[in-house]
A and B are shown apart, each in its own frame.
Chain A
Amino acid sequence: MKLAYWMYAGPAHIGTLRIASSFKNVHAIMHAPLGDDYFNVMRSMLERERDFTPVTASVVDRNVLARGSQDKVVNNITRKDAEEHPDLIVLTPTCTSSILQEDLANFVSRAQLEANCDVLLADVNHYRVNELQAADRTLEQIVRYYLEKAQKKGELPQNKTEKPSVNILGISSLGFHNQHDATELKRLMADLGIEVNAVVPHGASVHELKNLPRAWFNLVPYRELGTMAANYLKTEFEMPFVNITPMGVVDTARCIREIGKLLNQLGVETDFEEYIDNQTRFVSQAAWFSRSIDCQNLTGKKAVVFGDNTHAAAMTKILSREMGIHVVLAGTYCKYDADWFREQVSEYCDEVLISDDNAAIGDAIARLEPAAIFGTQMERHVGKRLDIPCGVIAAPIHIQNFPVGYKPFLGYEGANQVVDLIYNSFTLGMEDHLLEIFGGHDTKEAITKSVSAESDLSWSKDGLSQLNKIPGFVRGKVKRNTEKFARDRGIDTITAEVLYAAKEAVGA
């Protein structure tokens, strides 16, 4: 047993449902007790989905506990088949069905005999995998199922598309800015003269899956979702894939170069260097921003990054490599894929944290006192408590992170968006200076943070008045630093002199 207040990645069935509900005309039936269909609320609220979420429950109640599901699951599958005529029904196990150990595979094969649609049992175990791993698996499972089916029927298209083409794998519902990213990636492919053969799973029909091998290669933009499917396609159909996340100017260029290299190997003469150069220097604003004097003010400022593998790694590299920001800590909650993360970020940050315990991250942030945090909604709340601004870069997220406006994180427009996010998270440079020079917004009110309540130190009148001249957003930090300084030296009354001595000692 584990005492837990919060979790970063959801339970396995959420991953399966995200994949199933991303496809067109695929229905998921959860083998779950009443109330476990909370996924529908999330999809309906967070994504402001206009259509009914194609997820229903085959309810596990006392009767099921006593006698087993018997015909209930099969009936629910055939009923849904008759009502909505989906192409595929995915039977989704939950934590409850994991321990009931009912023969769900048997239900699936029985239902398959009666239903017109295909029926699959999601191959996920609640106690072994989390939301992200389950999503990756389910996507691979569905892709594999339809390719094997087409193969058996001899319906597999034999040749590649005429022009170079790509499948984009891993765009899913409830994914962080996924739909904007998909648009941006399609635009990028168009710029490169590459046709998009398929985007999977978002908005795809399972009937299109047999066409996946027609593409020349696969692009897997996110580390967490799509890798298994890409590996399967590579093994079975010798399709190469590119899995460099095109986030930030440098990695976008790396991703494009990798695509170029692939196409060259496949016998197409391409040279994307001019495109990259033109985009980087003149079209996208991100490279220019990092040279501009605004960005100078960010030099050496401390930041903490935390999130999923994809976004935390990319963000760490952008901050450190493209903006000269000092990343004191980079972390991920993808413990199952920790080695990859370490390898990606270790040269760009002081410290790496692999944990899914939100208190550990909160404590690290409190200890490091960065000028800004880039994390999930949880870190945003830690930031609020500590008075540190936070830009949200990864799930878990809430409704604010499903903006209506166009806000990709990937590609060249994504790089622009990330610049805005970073710049707006740090306190504006000039404002910072001016407030420091003029002693804050308004010194009439002596706002002291409650931190002082537990302090054993007393502040002299002039010390306090100096402290109050310090802009609000750094005051708490200065106060803590000064008190630490005083305590270390056995000073019991803090005067203005002590305050400044501390400032000099810390070099802040």
Chain B
Amino acid sequence: MTVAARPDALNFECETGNYHTFCPISCVAWLYQKIEDSFFLVIGTKTCGYFLQNAMGVMIFAEPRYAMAELEEGDISAQLNDYEELKRLCLQIKRDRNPSVIVWIGTCTTEIIKMDLEGLAPKLEAEIGIPIVTARANGLDYAFTQGEDTVLAAMAQRCPTEAPVSAIADGEKEERHGLRRFLDFGRHKDSQEDGGGQTVESEYIDHPPLVLFGSLPDPVATQLTLELKKQGIKVSGWLPSRHYTELPVLAEGSYVCGVNPFLSRTATTLMRRRKCKLIGAPFPIGPDGTRAWVEKICSVFGIEPKGLDEREQTIWNSVEEYAALLRGKSIFLMGDNLLEISLARFFVRCGATVQEIGIPYMDKRYQKAELDFLTKTCDEMGVPYPRIVEKPDNYNQIQRIRQQNPDLVITGMAHANPLEARGITTKWSVEFTFAQIHGFTNARDLLELATRPLRRNNNLKDLGWDKLVKEDAPV
């Protein structure tokens, strides 16, 4: 611990884990939209269902491809046969929706009653003829975005090891890609070229296959793919892809790189089970992060990156009016979605001081490059290192917020309104998960989000009603 206490290194602490975050089953909300031929079945109780329906707001009304398998008392006391019950529901799903994959999300309840989902899935899969992927995204083990990590780790096992063996299947795959390219025509012209004719292939440098992992909205995935293409790097596939039937090929020795900081299990699975090589890079969040991410990938493939300097500078110039708002401000991240280290690093680069980074779980190996980048950024900007608090205690954090009086608190909705009423400016953290914040192109959106409360409060600052609770009651 003496090492951690050194002033020239980041200081890690760990509190009680009594903090507010979303349940990891929330990942179904964005994953079912990303993987268009999937169906997510959350096997849990009313509590899970209530969370999903309230947290995901209007999304649930658009005939979602997800549902609850709501456990009843008979399921808990094993009066009903799990296999038969799941079969009944999955057949109903097959009949009504006919998905290419059913993803079972295990919950706290299935953990406690030890329902053997991993054991049941292969049997049922064989019986009903639809792949069943099992992910244990429960609140006993994980927080919020880690839910995606458990799903992707399970999907990584399903990726083919090589392009389909038979020529027919190969042609079929080409054709499907061809069809998709046709359908995408006009939407993002550049992306159609990849994998096309010989002339296009030659734009890429010869390097081992690279697969990126992490679920991003399609436009953002395309932007990052093109960013690498500019360096002559070909992205062979994404985990997840838009369809389950198009999961990328993962051969032994393929390179993989994560786009989000919460994907440590997926990374581990890719390395250990699929024998892939992980490129440990900072994450492409913010222009600084994107540049570092591209540079790292280039360096692994022995490529001299071109034009990144100007590219980054152009982006910074174009967002100067927003970045200026953060300059000299103090920021406190309470921690709930694991994006915190990358966001803090970006805020520091904008010229802010970060007082505390709360984070649910800190994988120092998977995030090593990002942590180093944070240290470097703090040094370059001449600001003190933030204190990093793993498994924070929200009560203690609020005491610290009151002492340190930060200019901006990034927090969950449970605390946002009460803090605002006490004159403390807040930004709701969940929005960073759902907004498009990756790559050079989205730097503006990222700053737009982060500075919105500051801009709003600037507009209202002369009204004189920034504290709206009577007594400074103990929290």
A-side residues, CB < 8 A to B, are 1-7, 10-11, 13-14, 32-38, 40-42, 44-45, 48-53, 56-57, 59-62, 65, 76, 83-84, 94-96, 99-100, 126-128, 130, 378, 381, 396, 398
Binary CB contact string for chain B from 185 to 219 against chain A (1 if under 8 A, 0 otherwise): 00000000000000000000000000000000000
Q: A34–B143 contact, CB under 8 A?
A: yes
**Which of chain B's residues have a CB closer than 8 A to the CB of A94?**
47
Q: A52–B415 contact, CB under 8 A?
A: yes
Compute how far the CA of A96 lies from the CA of B19 in the bound complex, rounded to whole angstroms: 18
Could you list 26 A-B pairs, sorted by A, with CB under 8 Å? A1-B71, A1-B85, A1-B86, A1-B89, A2-B68, A3-B68, A4-B68, A6-B53, A10-B46, A32-B139, A33-B23, A35-B22, A35-B24, A35-B144, A41-B55, A42-B54, A50-B469, A52-B398, A53-B414, A61-B17, A83-B474, A84-B474, A99-B109, A99-B113, A127-B76, A128-B73
Minimal Cβ-Cβ distance residue in B for A61: B140
**Which of chain B's residues have a CB closer than 8 A to the CB of A126?**
45-47
**Which of chain A's residues have a CB closer than 8 A to the CB of B93?**
3
Binary CB contact string for chain B from 237 to 261 against chain A (1 if under 8 A, 0 otherwise): 0000000000000000000000000
Q: A5–B67 contact, CB under 8 A?
A: yes
**Closest-CB distance, A336 to chain B (whole angstroms):** 14
B-side residues, CB < 8 A to A, are 17-24, 43, 45-47, 49-51, 53-55, 57-58, 60-61, 64, 67-73, 75-76, 80, 85-86, 88-89, 92-93, 108-109, 111-113, 138-144, 395, 398, 412-418, 421, 468-469, 473-475
Q: B417–A50 contact, CB under 8 A?
A: yes
Q: B45–A44 contact, CB under 8 A?
A: no
Q: Which of A34, A40, A95, A126 is the most central at the interface, judged by chain B CB atoms within 10 Å of its CB?
A: A34
Q: A3-B89, A45-B413, A62-B140 are in contact. List 19 more A-B contacts (CB 8 A).
A: A3-B67, A3-B70, A7-B46, A7-B49, A10-B50, A34-B19, A35-B144, A41-B20, A41-B413, A41-B414, A50-B468, A52-B414, A52-B475, A53-B418, A56-B395, A76-B18, A84-B474, A96-B109, A128-B73
Compute how far the CA of A52 lies from the CA of B473 in the bound complex, rounded to whole angstroms: 10
Compute how far the CA of A10 lies from the CA of B418 in the bound complex, rounded to whole angstroms: 24
Minimal Cβ-Cβ distance residue in A for B53: A6
**A11, A50, A76, A130: which contacts B421 (Cβ < 8 A)?**
A50
Q: B113–A38 contact, CB under 8 A?
A: no
**Closest-CB distance, A199 to chain B (whole angstroms):** 20
**Closest-CB distance, A422 to chain B (whole angstroms):** 24
Compute how far the CA of A35 lies from the CA of B57 in the bound complex, rounded to whole angstroms: 17
**B112, B414, B417, B468: which contacts A65 (Cβ < 8 A)?**
B112
Compute how far the CA of A240 lies from the CA of B86 in the bound complex, rounded to whole angstroms: 50
Minimal Cβ-Cβ distance residue in A for B139: A33
**Closest-CB distance, A232 to chain B (whole angstroms):** 27
Compute how far the CA of A36 lies from the CA of B51 in the bound complex, rounded to whole angstroms: 8
**A11, A38, A45, A83: which contacts B417 (Cβ < 8 A)?**
A45
Q: A41–B412 contact, CB under 8 A?
A: yes
Compute how far the CA of A485 lies from the CA of B24 in the bound complex, rounded to whole angstroms: 51
Minimal Cβ-Cβ distance residue in B for A95: B45
Q: B414–A51 contact, CB under 8 A?
A: no
With contacts A3-B92, A96-B108 known, is A11 near B416, CB below 8 A? no
**Closest-CB distance, A281 to chain B (whole angstroms):** 42
With contacts A1-B88, A61-B17 known, is A7 near B53, CB below 8 A? yes
**Which of chain B's residues have a CB closer than 8 A to the CB of A7?**
46, 49-50, 53
Q: B108–A60 contact, CB under 8 A?
A: yes
Minimal Cβ-Cβ distance residue in A for B468: A50
**Which of chain A's residues have a CB closer than 8 A to the CB of B398?**
52
**Closest-CB distance, B426 to chain A (whole angstroms):** 11
Q: A11–B46 contact, CB under 8 A?
A: yes
**Which of chain B's residues have a CB closer than 8 A to the CB of A53?**
414, 418
Compute how far the CA of A330 lies from the CA of B68 in the bound complex, rounded to whole angstroms: 27
Q: B140–A95 contact, CB under 8 A?
A: no
Q: B73–A127 contact, CB under 8 A?
A: yes
Q: A1–B69 contact, CB under 8 A?
A: yes
**A5, A35, A83: which contacts B23 (Cβ < 8 A)?**
A35
**Closest-CB distance, A259 to chain B (whole angstroms):** 35
**Which of chain A's residues have a CB closer than 8 A to the CB of B475?**
52, 84
**Which of chain A's residues have a CB closer than 8 A to the CB of B415?**
44, 52
**Closest-CB distance, B328 to chain A (whole angstroms):** 29
Minimal Cβ-Cβ distance residue in A for B82: A1
**Which of chain B's residues have a CB closer than 8 A to the CB of A83?**
395, 474
**Closest-CB distance, A362 to chain B (whole angstroms):** 11
Q: A95–B417 contact, CB under 8 A?
A: no
With contacts A36-B47, A45-B413 known, is A1 near B80, CB below 8 A? yes
With contacts A5-B67, A56-B18 known, is A95 near B141, CB below 8 A? no
Minimal Cβ-Cβ distance residue in B for A53: B414
**Which of chain B's residues have a CB closer than 8 A to the CB of A378?**
61
With contacts A5-B68, A11-B50, A96-B112 known, is A49 near B417, CB below 8 A? yes
**B22, B111, B414: which contacts A44 (Cβ < 8 A)?**
B414
**Closest-CB distance, A17 to chain B (whole angstroms):** 12
**Which of chain A's residues have a CB closer than 8 A to the CB of B60?**
5-6
**A61, A76, A127, A130: which contacts B141 (Cβ < 8 A)?**
A61
**Closest-CB distance, A127 to chain B (whole angstroms):** 4
Minimal Cβ-Cβ distance residue in A for B90: A3
Q: Which 9 A-B pairs have the closest CB atoms?
A: A35-B23, A33-B139, A40-B414, A50-B421, A35-B139, A95-B45, A1-B85, A11-B46, A127-B73
Compute how far the CA of A10 lies from the CA of B49 in the bound complex, rounded to whole angstroms: 9
Compute how far the CA of A5 lies from the CA of B73 in the bound complex, rounded to whole angstroms: 19
Compute how far the CA of A128 lies from the CA of B72 in the bound complex, rounded to whole angstroms: 10
**Which of chain B's residues have a CB closer than 8 A to the CB of A41?**
20, 54-55, 412-414
**Which of chain B's residues have a CB closer than 8 A to the CB of A76?**
18
**B54, B395, B474: which contacts A38 (Cβ < 8 A)?**
B54
Minimal Cβ-Cβ distance residue in B for A33: B139
With contacts A36-B23, A41-B412, A95-B109 known, is A1 near B47, CB below 8 A? no
**Closest-CB distance, B162 to chain A (whole angstroms):** 37
Q: A2–B72 contact, CB under 8 A?
A: yes
Compute how far the CA of A57 lies from the CA of B49 in the bound complex, rounded to whole angstroms: 19
**Closest-CB distance, A297 to chain B (whole angstroms):** 31
**Which of chain B's residues have a CB closer than 8 A to the CB of A13?**
47
**Which of chain A's residues have a CB closer than 8 A to the CB of B71?**
1
**Which of chain B's residues have a CB closer than 8 A to the CB of A45?**
413, 417
Compute how far the CA of A36 lies from the CA of B22 in the bound complex, rounded to whole angstroms: 8
With contacts A37-B414, A51-B473, A99-B76 known, is A65 near B46, CB below 8 A? no
**Which of chain A's residues have a CB closer than 8 A to the CB of B18?**
56-57, 59, 76
Compute how far the CA of A251 lies from the CA of B475 in the bound complex, rounded to whole angstroms: 43
With contacts A5-B67, A36-B23, A56-B18 known, is A381 near B89, CB below 8 A? no
Compute how far the CA of A74 lies from the CA of B50 in the bound complex, rounded to whole angstroms: 28
Compute how far the CA of A396 lies from the CA of B49 in the bound complex, rounded to whole angstroms: 13
Compute how far the CA of A185 lies from the CA of B291 in the bound complex, rounded to whole angstroms: 63
Compute how far the CA of A441 lies from the CA of B57 in the bound complex, rounded to whole angstroms: 33
Q: A95–B46 contact, CB under 8 A?
A: yes
**Closest-CB distance, A268 to chain B (whole angstroms):** 39
Q: B112–A14 contact, CB under 8 A?
A: no
Q: A50–B418 contact, CB under 8 A?
A: yes
Q: B67–A4 contact, CB under 8 A?
A: yes
**Which of chain A's residues have a CB closer than 8 A to the CB of B395?**
56, 83
Compute how far the CA of A6 lies from the CA of B63 in the bound complex, rounded to whole angstroms: 11
Compute how far the CA of A56 lies from the CA of B18 in the bound complex, rounded to whole angstroms: 8
With contacts A51-B421, A56-B395 known, is A34 near B139, CB below 8 A? yes
**Which of chain B's residues have a CB closer than 8 A to the CB of A396?**
53
Compute how far the CA of A53 lies from the CA of B23 in the bound complex, rounded to whole angstroms: 18
**Which of chain A's residues have a CB closer than 8 A to the CB of B49?**
4, 6-7
**Which of chain A's residues have a CB closer than 8 A to the CB of B112?**
65, 96, 99-100
Q: A34–B50 contact, CB under 8 A?
A: no
**Which of chain A's residues have a CB closer than 8 A to the CB of B19?**
34
Q: Which of A33, A60, A128 is the most central at the interface, judged by chain B CB atoms within 10 Å of its CB?
A: A33
Compute how far the CA of A96 lies from the CA of B395 in the bound complex, rounded to whole angstroms: 24
**A4, A34, A42, A84: which contacts B70 (Cβ < 8 A)?**
A4
Minimal Cβ-Cβ distance residue in A for B113: A99
